[in-house]
């Protein structure tokens, strides 16, 4: 029996590194600021059985309402974790963006963070929660650490991040990839470095998908505290830092004690197998089809309402 045809929809510079690349699959470029009809035409030509759409809240209303496929939306952005209190302004903006999600476009919703479920459920019930996977082609085995270690940070600059990065850049040679990189360029950056820094966009807890990406590439990950952990053990699978001074001390220790860094890298790389895209999406697609067969979907009902 042939596997289901799966189309992945999203902005390639962020999400092509998160999906498999097999004969029965395709990646269709879409971002909020472009005309959506070419994306829909590409899907119609491919005729998928299943569509995985990253950031479903950016889809135009009803554009998938008549698409004859099982559709799962993957929420990839942090939003407030509670309905109480005043959220960080960045989280409040992302929550407003989430409100634009049209239930006519998706059958089920998956969230990268189980902690946002109370807020996301008010828009559409969250069906599953799992970290954003990593494309199989980006997996590598760790190689010996250089001296000094070759450092990379992938992510745009923000005032919060620069409080950590500024002192490090003054002392170490750091490749800072501040804008989205295509999967081929990303693969090259990963292959050329051994240590990565993971810093939150703003001073609120989260779990960035680059953590899984770098662990899969065999990097030593030095990160602000992660929430949720998604199976990772702080101090064993990655190095935790809570201030710029702690970050500098961690980097100094990596340089002075490579064995310590190698041990953490090996543990993190082993844990990264849980994020492999082919395994993760095969399981997710199988569960989706079984769930829809058993319980149906409100998408077609909403489309005709």
pLDDT for the residue numbered 302: 47
Residues 92-149 pLDDT 10s: 999 999 999 999 999 999 999 999 999 999 999 999 999 999 999 999 998 888 888 8
CA distances (Å), origin 103, targets 51, 56, 107: 15, 9, 7
Spans of the chain below 50 pLDDT: 302-305
Query: Per the domain annotation, does 290 fall within a domain?
Result: yes
pTM for the complete prediction?
0.93
Residue among 244, 246, 222 nearest 234 (CA): 222
Residues 213-244 pLDDT 10s: 999 999 999 999 999 999 999 999 999 999 99
Query: Per the domain annotation, does 42 fall within a domain?
Result: yes
Tell whether 187 and 58 lie within a shared domain: no
Query: Per the domain annotation, does 1 fall within a domain?
Result: no
Give the angle 16-19-20 at the CA atoms, nearest 5°.
Answer: 120
Burial class (CB in 10 A: 0-12, 13-18, 19+), 106: buried
Q: What is the CATH classification number for the domain harbouring 78?
A: 3.40.50
* Cα gap 89→160, rounded to integer Å: 14
CA distances (Å), origin 113, targets 198, 208, 209, 211, 217: 17, 10, 11, 14, 22
Domain membership of residue 188 as a residue range: 137-275
Q: How close are the terminal C-alpha atoms of the chain, in Å?
A: 36
Tell whether 63 and 144 lie within a shared domain: no
pLDDT for the residue numbered 178: 77
pLDDT for the residue numbered 300: 59
Tell whether 237 and 287 lie within a shared domain: no
pLDDT for the residue numbered 57: 98
Tokens linked to 44: 């119609």
Tell whether 121 and 62 lie within a shared domain: yes
Q: What is the CATH classification number for the domain harbouring 202?
A: 3.40.50.2000
The structural domain count of the chain equals: 2
Q: How many residues does the chain have?
A: 305
pLDDT for the residue numbered 304: 45
């Amino acid at each position: 029996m042939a596997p289901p045809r799966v189309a992945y929809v999203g902005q390639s510079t962020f999400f092509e590194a998160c999906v498999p690349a097999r004969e029965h699959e395709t990646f269709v470029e879409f971002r909020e600021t472009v005309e959506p009809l070419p994306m829909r035409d590409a899907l119609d030509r491919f005729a998928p059985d299943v569509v995985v759409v990253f950031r479903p809240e950016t889809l135009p209303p009803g554009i998938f309402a008549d698409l004859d496929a099982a559709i799962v939306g993957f929420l990839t952005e942090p939003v407030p974790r509670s309905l109480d209190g005043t959220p960080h302004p960045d989280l409040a903006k992302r929550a407003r963006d989430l409100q634009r999600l049209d239930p006519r476009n998706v059958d089920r919703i998956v969230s990268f963070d189980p902690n946002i479920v109370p807020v996301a459920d008010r828009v559409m019930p969250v069906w599953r929660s799992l970290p954003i996977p990593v494309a199989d082609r980006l997996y590598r085995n760790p190689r010996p650490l250089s001296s000094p270690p070759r450092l990379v940070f992938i992510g745009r600059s923000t005032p919060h991040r620069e409080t950590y990065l500024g002192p490090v850049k003054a002392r170490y040679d750091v490749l800072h990839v501040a804008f989205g990189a295509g999967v081929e360029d990303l693969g090259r950056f990963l292959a050329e470095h051994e240590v990565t820094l993971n810093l939150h966009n703003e001073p609120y807890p989260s779990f960035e998908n680059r953590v899984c990406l770098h662990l899969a590439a065999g990097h030593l990950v030095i990160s602000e505290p992660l929430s949720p952990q998604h199976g990772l053990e702080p101090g064993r699978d990655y190095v935790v830092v809570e201030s710029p001074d702690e970050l500098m001390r961690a980097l100094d220790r990596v340089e002075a004690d490579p064995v310590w860094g190698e041990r953490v890298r090996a543990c993190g790389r082993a844990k990264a197998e849980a994020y492999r895209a082919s395994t993760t999406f095969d399981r997710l697609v199988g569960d989706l089809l079984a769930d829809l067969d058993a319980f149906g979907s409100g998408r077609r009902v909403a489309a005709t309402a």
